[in-house]
Structures are given as structure tokens and as C-alpha cells.
Chains A and B, each alone.
Chain A
Amino acid sequence: MPHIFRTYPRALPLAAAALALALGACSDGQVRSEAGAPPRPQQKWNNAPPPPPLSSTIPQDVSVPQSNPDLQALQDDFDLFSWQSFIAVNWPAGPDGNPKPGATIGPDVPTVWENWKESREIFLPGGATPPPWGQDTPPPAVCKGLGDATLHLTQVGKTPNVLDESGEPFETGPLIDQNGQYVRFAILTNQDMFDNIVSNGLYSAAGQKKFGKPANFALPPNSKQVGAIMVKSAWKVLGANDVAARFHTAKALVYTNPGEHEGVQAACKLQTVGLVGLHIAHKTQGEPQWVWSSFEHVDNVPTQGEPIDKAHYNFYNKACTTCQVNQPPPRPWNPNNAYTQPTQVMREIALTDSTKRLNATYQALLSKNYPGTVWANYELISTQWPTNAKNPIDPTGNPAPAFLANTTLETYIQGRVPRASSSCMDCHNNATMTTGLTSDFTYLLQRAQ
């Protein structure tokens, strides 16, 4: 219950104009305004006109049409950017990996981003040079003979500290679905990012040493390129009680990396998996701290303080009264186990009403464009962006919102505690290379051998 300043809403005769000018609009205090403050102006997607048409073009940067936007207006702009990006990267891919000409988003087919480079393909044993863009690296030996797959899922958890791109993705624990199976992850980069890594030799420890300075994925000014993009994806193995038609699916080689944890054997299975979480991080011209968009499958989890009204959740059991919420399973952790006690997950920070409205708008748009499409089953959680990108005393650029967690990717650190709870920019700001020099907000580069 927010405390309301006792003297606050009170009319006094006052020439406020001069003051407002003098203070430079320092009052965005309408958050406290239950008592009769004017309603916030509606954003454009809350009524007509609709957002831009569905497009396979990834936006280069956020568009800010307002003349003097406040925090919420800018958040809405970035959320729109997130949805546009989500649509574009999930566009059906043609044989060359680019958006398929003449296609539209809707059918459950391999997407553009699934053709990007997996981290496993970039940071090779011995620091070997990765094969060029468009050319695949063979899957791990243990996967040989299992047939073709659209994606190799190689990670089974993520580090709480080195959040989503660590070589040791286990520290706070794996996420176990309702079928007792480990959720799997893969990180991919687009061509602009891959090209930067290759041309600067950052795929190897020796190359990073030679490079000898902080990594920088910024494009030259006025570049027409889209810029560096990383995608981190979370997938569940589809099994009992999963309705495959509700997911974007892939046939994947689900690889268990023995290097991830002591006592775990290498293993590989060809399985049908469903997309449950997707981070898109994009280094745009205007946002040197990157823009961090986070999406989830709508059936993932209920939100604390909101109705638990779905028949089935991917990571929550309504029938369990003794399950502790957001607690990792006990060790030892082994993704090869036939069954592990499922994780009982709830969202700790609710989506804002504005983001919910945008989600509904886009879900309707997608359904209208392609009835029954799986893409209408995804929602934006939020977008983290720098409010003050060039702040000389805050290299994270004062992120908004201050915290952002995806329940499939930051399951166990969803709170609001500075430095400990999930904040994309705060955490990734500490990312460095094997040299110890900063890596421009990506933990991928520390994987170089």
C-alpha cells in the first residue's frame, strides 16, 4: 500500500506555470495519484490506429514519435520495438536463412533467428576459426547418426550470476517442466554480431589477447546495418499434457554437455521441443547498453497476486499445495535423469497494464493474419532500455524497468534487490572477455578457448 503524502492532493491558489518551467518537469509523481489525478493519455495501440503492419524487417532502432515523452510513453515505444523485433526474427526463413519471400508469419516453421550462429559454433575447441556464416558446424560427436535437426540445444541451465551466456549455466539451478524434464537453452547471434567477432578475432582467447581492448559491437555512425543481436532461447521437451499445437516447435538434438557438471555424461536425443522463452538483445545506434526484449509462452506460469485461472501451466502445478515456489531442485543435477521433481514457478513482477494491452493487440493481429497461429501464444514480459544512455556515472544508463526477469531464463532471481535480482543491463554490464576487459554486454566472449 503506497503511502500518500498527507498534504498532497490539495488545491491551493498558485501560479504554477513559472514553477513548472523553473523545475523542468520534475514531477512524474502521478504514480501516487489514486486520488483524482488525470488519467494517463492512452497510447496509440490502446485505441485505433493499430500498430504498424507485421513485417519481416527488424527495426534498426526504437521510434519515438512523441514530442516530450515521459517514462511510460518511452516504455511503450520500446515495447512496440520489442514486438516488431519478435515478429521479424520469427518470420519464416527461406533456404538461405533470410525471411522467406512471399511468406508471412503464422505457420510453425523454422524461423530466421534459428538460422543464426549458435554459441557452440563460434567458440570452438582450441580457439579454432569458426566456419563462415551459413555453413554449419557438425553437432557434437554423441549426436551423430541421430538425424537432421533444425537446432542443437546444448545448454540445460543458466548461471544466476553469469546470467544467460555462461559456460557454467547451473549455479542457481535448472528449470524442470511439469513432465520432470530439464528445460534447454541455446544462444545465437546474428550475422552482424558474428562478423564482428570473427573479424576482430574474438572467437579465441589468443585473438582476444591480441585484440587487447574492450569489445565493441557498435555500428559505425549512419550504418544501414541492423546491428548486433543476440537471442537466448528456452525450450521444453514436448511430452504428456503438452499440446504441441500451442508452441513454436522444433526437432532438436537435445545435447547434454558433460562439461556442464561433474558426474554428468554426454548424451544426445532427437526430440520435439517447444519454445517457452526468448530474449532478444539488440545493440542499436541509440542504445549502447542494448535493448533487452523478453518474451514467454503464455502458458508458462501464473503471476503472484493475479488469478491462477489457466487449466494447465508449463511450469506450475495448480494441484500441488506443498510445492515451494521458485526453488531449484536439490543437487545433484543431471539433465539425463528420467524424471526430476518439477519446479513450481510463479512470476514475481507482474506485466504492466500497458504491456498487457500491447500483447493483446499483437496477439489479435497475429491471429487475424493467420488463424490458429502459434505466435499468438507468446507475450512480451517487458523491454529493458537505458533512460540515460550517456550517463557518465552509470555505465548501465539507468535501465528502465530496473528489474526484468523471464521465468524460464531467470527463474530464481525475479525480485527487486539491487545487484542480486535479474536486471539484464546491470548484469551484462559486468561481462568481460578472457582478458578481463569488458565485452560490451555479452557473456559469450568469455567462452573463447
Chain B
Amino acid sequence: MVFDYMDYFVSMSVGLTGFSSDAIAPQLDTIDIKSAYLAAFDENLPTGMAEQILERYKTLFVAGGSKPGSEEQIVGQMLGGSGTSAAQILAMRQLIFLWYAGAWPTVQSDGNSSTGGQTFSTVLSADSYTQGLVWRVMQSHPMGSTTYNYGYWASNPPPLSAYLENPV
């Protein structure tokens, strides 16, 4: 059996993003953005770091009984420094940003400024932009790409839970 990093990548991403795996990596995945994100996560980090993070996640996940629903608690441990370095924690946060914005971020931290620094980002692709979770967490659609119809803006959107559980 080949160790499928993708399973852990999706599982860890569920914990990081707060979205269900059906929402970010549905079983019938017509867009398959997860593959682009896994590749970007790997490419944009120092060699081996993505693998180390996923292996750490796997270790904790398996140790916890591989329980669905434990993803957020496990990434919480890792973000809290349990077996992770500062660089790995930043990488995990960059992955959150990637899932939400569809863009890989460059963070310029500045502890002395009132804003704490700035973040710049590079969009991966048209699909990554439209798949960004920001649009779903705001119960809307990507600017420039909606599947809703005329006048939808005069009514309340479906509940947030629908956006957390379904793909677009």
C-alpha cells in the first residue's frame, strides 16, 4: 500500500480550515484543487518540510485513533508547537491562507508596527481563485464568478453550515 499523503493533507486541511472534507475535497471532485494545493504546499516550502508536517499530522492522527472530528484538535496541538518548529507552524498558516485565498502568501511580520506586518500573495490559477474558501465563509461567491441568479442579493443566503459542508 502506497502511503497516500493526499489523505493526510485533506484531513489536516479540514482541521486547519474548519471546512468539511466534502467541501474542500469532495468524493466526486470535478475541480481537484487539492492536488494543486498539495503541490504548492510542497513547492513553496523548504525541501521535505511539507512531508515532515504531514508525517507529524499522521502520527498524531493515528495515535488519536484516526477519529473523524479530531482534525481540528490535532492541528491545534501542532500550531501550539507540539512537535513542530516555528517554520512549520508558519507553513501550516500559509496553507490556511492558500485554502482561503487560492494564493500563496508571503508574510512580512513586524512586531513593532501597529499592524503586525503585512501579507502579499500570488494567485495560483483561475480555479484556485474561484475555489477560495473566503467566498464560502462569507456565504457568497467569488467576485467575478457566481452560479446564483438575478436578484439573489435581495435575499439571505443559505446558512453558513451549507457552505462549510458542500463543494462549489
Q: How far is the CA of A10 from the CA of B6 in the complex (A)?
A: 12
Q: What residues of chain B have their CB less than 8 Å away from a CB belonging to chain A?
A: 1-8, 10-11, 21-22, 25-32, 34-35, 38-39, 42-43, 47-48, 50-51, 54, 58, 61-62, 65-68, 126-127, 130, 136, 142, 144-145, 147-151, 158, 162-163, 166-168
Which residues of chain A are within 8 angstroms of B166 by Cβ–Cβ distance? 388, 391-394
- Do A25 and B150 touch across chains, with their CB atoms under 8 A apart? no
Chain A contacts with B in 1-52, Cβ cutoff 8 A: 3-12, 14-16, 18-29, 31-32, 37
Q: How far is the CA of A436 from the CA of B55 in the complex (A)?
A: 54
Q: How far is the CA of A37 from the CA of B136 in the complex (A)?
A: 34
Q: How far is the CA of A393 from the CA of B139 in the complex (A)?
A: 9
- Do B149 and A398 touch across chains, with their CB atoms under 8 A apart? no
- Do A402 and B3 touch across chains, with their CB atoms under 8 A apart? no
| Distance to closest chain A CB from B73 (angstroms) | 14
- Do A26 and B21 touch across chains, with their CB atoms under 8 A apart? yes
CB contact under 8 A between A22 and B66, given known A5-B38, A7-B5: yes
Q: Lowest 8 CB-CB distances: which A-B pairs, in order? A: A12-B3, A387-B28, A7-B51, A18-B66, A3-B39, A392-B162, A400-B30, A29-B6
Which residue of B42, B58, B145, B147 contacts A5 across the interface (Cβ within 8 Å)? Answer: B42
Which residues of chain A are within 8 angstroms of B145 by Cβ–Cβ distance? 418-419
Interface 0/1 of A419-448, CB less than 8 Å to B: 100000010011010001010000000000
Most buried by B among A27, A392, A432: A27
| Distance to closest chain B CB from A309 (angstroms) | 31
Which residues of chain B are within 8 angstroms of A15 by Cβ–Cβ distance? 62
CB contact under 8 A between A24 and B158, given known A10-B3, A71-B29, A400-B28: no
Q: How far is the CA of A316 from the CA of B109 in the complex (A)?
A: 56
Q: How far is the CA of A439 from the CA of B31 in the complex (A)?
A: 27
- Do A22 and B50 touch across chains, with their CB atoms under 8 A apart? no
Which residues of chain A are within 8 angstroms of B38 by Cβ–Cβ distance? 5
Q: Is A74 an interface residue (CB 8 A)?
A: yes
Q: How far is the CA of A6 from the CA of B62 in the complex (A)?
A: 23
- Do B130 and A5 touch across chains, with their CB atoms under 8 A apart? no
Tell me the nearest residue of chain A to B127, going by C-beta.
A418
Q: How far is the CA of A356 from the CA of B12 in the complex (A)?
A: 38
Which residues of chain A are within 8 angstroms of B22 by Cβ–Cβ distance? 24
- Do A28 and B27 touch across chains, with their CB atoms under 8 A apart? yes
| Distance to closest chain A CB from B110 (angstroms) | 32
Tell me the nearest residue of chain B to A430, going by C-beta.
B149
Q: How far is the CA of A12 from the CA of B2 in the complex (A)?
A: 7
- Do A391 and B5 touch across chains, with their CB atoms under 8 A apart? no
Q: What residues of chain A have their CB less than 8 Å away from a CB belonging to chain B?
A: 3-12, 14-16, 18-29, 31-32, 37, 70-71, 74, 387-388, 391-396, 398-402, 416-419, 426, 429-430, 432, 436, 438
Q: How far is the CA of A426 from the CA of B130 in the complex (A)?
A: 14
Which residues of chain A are within 8 angstroms of B34 by Cβ–Cβ distance? 29
Tell me the nearest residue of chain A to B58, going by C-beta.
A14
Provide 6 A-B residue pairs closer than 8 Å at the C-beta atoms, listed in order of the A residue.
Answer: A5-B39, A25-B27, A391-B168, A401-B30, A432-B149, A432-B150
- Do B2 and A11 touch across chains, with their CB atoms under 8 A apart? yes
- Do A395 and B30 touch across chains, with their CB atoms under 8 A apart? no
- Do A71 and B7 touch across chains, with their CB atoms under 8 A apart? no
CB contact under 8 A between A6 and B47, given known A388-B166, A393-B168: yes
- Do A394 and B168 touch across chains, with their CB atoms under 8 A apart? yes
Q: How far is the CA of A430 from the CA of B7 in the complex (A)?
A: 36
- Do A19 and B66 touch across chains, with their CB atoms under 8 A apart? yes
Given A26-B6, A388-B28, A388-B166, 6 further pairs, Cβ under 8 A? A15-B62, A26-B27, A71-B29, A392-B162, A394-B167, A395-B148
Which residues of chain B are within 8 angstroms of A10 by Cβ–Cβ distance? 2-3
Q: How far is the CA of A417 from the CA of B2 in the complex (A)?
A: 34
| Distance to closest chain B CB from A153 (angstroms) | 31
- Do B62 and A418 touch across chains, with their CB atoms under 8 A apart? no
- Do B62 and A19 touch across chains, with their CB atoms under 8 A apart? yes
- Do A31 and B35 touch across chains, with their CB atoms under 8 A apart? yes
| Distance to closest chain B CB from A429 (angstroms) | 6
Which residues of chain B are within 8 angstroms of A3 by Cβ–Cβ distance? 39, 43
| Distance to closest chain B CB from A9 (angstroms) | 6
Tell me the nearest residue of chain B to A436, going by C-beta.
B150
| Distance to closest chain B CB from A68 (angstroms) | 9
CB contact under 8 A between A22 and B67, given known A7-B5, A27-B7, A394-B167: yes
CB contact under 8 A between A398 and B7, given known A418-B145, A419-B144, A436-B150: no
| Distance to closest chain B CB from A45 (angstroms) | 21
- Do B130 and A418 touch across chains, with their CB atoms under 8 A apart? yes
Which residues of chain A are within 8 angstroms of B32 by Cβ–Cβ distance? 28-29, 31
Which residues of chain A are within 8 angstroms of B28 by Cβ–Cβ distance? 28, 70-71, 74, 387-388, 398, 400
| Distance to closest chain B CB from A170 (angstroms) | 23
Q: How far is the CA of A18 from the CA of B38 in the complex (A)?
A: 22
Which residue of B5, B151, B163, B167 contacts A8 across the interface (Cβ within 8 Å)? Answer: B5
| Distance to closest chain B CB from A422 (angstroms) | 15
- Do B3 and A26 touch across chains, with their CB atoms under 8 A apart? no
Tell me the nearest residue of chain A to B50, going by C-beta.
A7
- Do B147 and A395 touch across chains, with their CB atoms under 8 A apart? yes
Which residues of chain A are within 8 angstroms of B168 by Cβ–Cβ distance? 391, 393-394, 398
